Structure 1
């Protein structure tokens, strides 16, 4: 199912199809199944443009993110795992970052390169600061949980910005400890992790993908990367059983309610247009 223009939402039918596509499958097979969906042009999550909440944070919260360039003038590197059609990668480049989009789906990467090829002259990808200029765009094929793609990244393979959106919600809860550990490993010592928390109000018991991601999921896992956390029978984190935060854990710098996000009714916004998503900005201790 391809996305259409205007306000879009996951229909009950597309949600059921998406859940059924992964039911009972070993997680090692998920990559090929996502590629199959892209091949079939089934992408109800695809909005066709960058998320305005990311643009807002990049524009208005430089107090959290700092300069786009490092000392010496070298550009900071940004990563978007599960980048899909590449919209947010191109937005990060427009803000001046050398931006990397990572995808396990070759068909999604074909779409991302097509998006880049057609991006010239589009307002959403215009250079935000002419003094800084536009960063380089690189799309990588690889598995987020493995190191192969890191060999193609300039420098030490760590990133100054990591943007996570429609990525964690695509992963089954069993992968959350590894997801958090990987974030800790890939984020540079002074880097910032930007998590657009989506879907934050979806019932946890409804399953996925997309899996419900209330703020407590991030608050539980990111300070304890790699640790298995206790969940109750309904799928909620047992907050009374959380252990000590790890030395390599991340700390939240800000929890932001964005002015805008993608218009996904009853998932990103409610029926009145009120934003349901949150943005968390994280860093190393």
Structure 2
């Protein structure tokens, strides 16, 4: 079962082979062209939060991190204490599927591949629910298969079937600036919520 205990044990034992030790180049490039530093940003399954640290360095002021691992959340709350006290970021110990909020941007970086594949349709629906109208889901998905899991792989065609009912697929293509070990095995996505303004 992929619960708090499972993930906390992985972090305690440093079994985090999905962690590349820095913000992904493709995401850094995307962040660098954003102009509204007050955008509400969510990073679910945030892991070691390299993307969040990069965003903070660039002056973003409204970031929310969620992770199911209590141990990891404690580490991050200590590590990011200054920014938490400043109000630029909050770190929540929670199951993503129980989260509520409204965001302009959700960042996907190795969260989708870490959940049970049976939850992927619900993931797409939940993302749509959390995003403001015209809000975006941006990130990286593995375009390959793995033995066992997590991580769990898949294909572009499979993923599109989950997202099409809820999003306009602005970009859904092979990532051109993956880190070398993942070259050719990642998709970069930029999906815009179809949710109507009430």
Q: TM-score, normalized by length of structure 1?
A: 0.60
Match of 1:30 in 2: 3
Kindly tell me: are residues 196 and 83 of structure 1, through their superposed partners in 2, closer, same or farther at Cα, counting changes over 3 Å? same
Q: Equivalent residues in 2 for 1:1-285 (5 A)?
A: 25=1, 30-60=3-33, 62=34, 67-68=35-36, 75-95=38-58, 96-116=60-80, 136-147=88-99, 150=100, 157-198=101-142, 200-202=143-145, 206-224=147-165, 249-263=166-180, 265=181, 268-269=182-183, 275-285=184-194
Distance 1:110 1:146 in 2: 19
Q: What is the root-mean-square deviation in Å for CA atoms of aligned residues?
A: 2.5
Provide closer, same or farther for how the CA distance between residues 262 and 117 of structure 1 changes in structure 2, counting only shifts above 3 A: farther
**Could you tell me how far 1:93 is from its partner in structure 2?**
2.9
Native 8 Å contact 1:87 1:115 kept in 2: no
Distance in 2, Cα, partners of 1:176 & 1:258: 21
Q: Of Structure 1 and Structure 2, which has the larger fraction of its residues in strand?
A: 2
Larger radius of gyration between Structure 1 and Structure 2: 1
TM score, norm. by length of structure 2 = 0.84
User: What whole-Å deviation, never above 9, does each CA across 1:256-285 have from its counterpart, x for those lacking one?
Assistant: 54443344x3xx13xxxxx43221100122
Match of 1:234 in 2: none
| 177 and 258 in structure 1: CA distance in 2 versus 1, 3 angstrom threshold | closer
Gaps of 5+ in 2: none
Check the 8 A contact 2:103/2:135 in 1, yes or no: yes
CA distance in 1, matches of 2:178, 2:95: 27
Q: Evaluate the alpha carbon distance shift between residue 97 and residue 257 of structure 1 in structure 2; reply closer, same or farther with a 3 A threshold.
A: farther
Spell out structure 1 runs of 4+ moving beyond 3 A: 113-119, 256-259
**Offset, 1:118:** 9.7
